[in-house]
Structure 1
Amino acid sequence: MPKYLFKVKLTVDGLKGLLEEGGTTRREVVERLVQSMGGRLESAYWALGEEDFYLTADLPGNTSAAALGLVTSAAGGVRTNTVALLTAEEIDEAVHQEVDYRAPGA
């Protein structure tokens, strides 16, 4: 199953909800959400810095990852940035694919 990294920034409403419910409750909500989409939450970390929350999850595919980001962002409590993650084996496969490309000016 493909793996995704979600970088999450809380909005003012999201911060208010976090202060009310706490980090553990919000992580449990995210875990149920991922499971409801046929996925598995691998990790969830609160952070200091540009983003407030990072999670990695196995999901059935890109449409599931997009749906997760769209639905949670549309609710207004967060803004998400989704990154598709690749294994070393997938990179090996990519390295061995033939690609017909010419660099600009070459």
Structure 2
Amino acid sequence: MPKFLIQATYTPDGTKGLLTEGASGRRAAVDQVVTGLGGKVEAMYFAFGEHDIVLIVDFPDPVSMAAVSLTVKASGALHTRATPLLTLDEIDEAARRQVAFRAPGA
């Protein structure tokens, strides 16, 4: 399954919701969303600094990740960034592929 790194920052309203529900309440909500689309939460951490929460999730396909991203962003409670993660084998495979490319000005 494709794996994604999700970094999120709560808006003021999202932070109020976190204070009301607590971290375990948010974890339950995340689990419900991810498993509902056939995915799995590998890790979930709260943080402070630029991002308030960091997750690693598996989804059956990138469209599932996009569906979650659109829905979460539309809520206005979080600003998110999802980064696809690749395995070592996937990068090795990419390195073996021939790509026709000409650099600008070359």
1:30 deviation in Å? 0.2
Distance (Å, rounded) in 1 between the aligned partners of 2:61 and 2:51: 24
The number of residues matched between the two structures is: 106
Q: Could you tell me the TM-score, scaled by structure 2's length?
A: 0.97
The structure 1 segments of at least 4 consecutive aligned residues displaced by more than 2 Å after TM superposition are: none
1:58 deviation in Å? 0.5
Q: Could you tell me the TM-score, scaled by structure 1's length?
A: 0.97
Gaps of 5+ in 1: none
Distance (Å, rounded) in 2 between the aligned partners of 1:28 and 1:44: 11
Distance (Å, rounded) in 2 between the aligned partners of 1:20 and 1:26: 10
Distance (Å, rounded) in 1 between the aligned partners of 2:60 and 2:79: 22
Q: 1:36-67 deviations in whole A, cap 9, x for unaligned?
A: 01101100000111010011110011111111
Q: Percent identity?
A: 46
Distance (Å, rounded) in 2 between the aligned partners of 1:60 and 1:12: 32
Note the 1:8-47 alignment, pairs <5 A: 8-47=8-47
CA-based RMSD of the aligned residues comes to 0.7
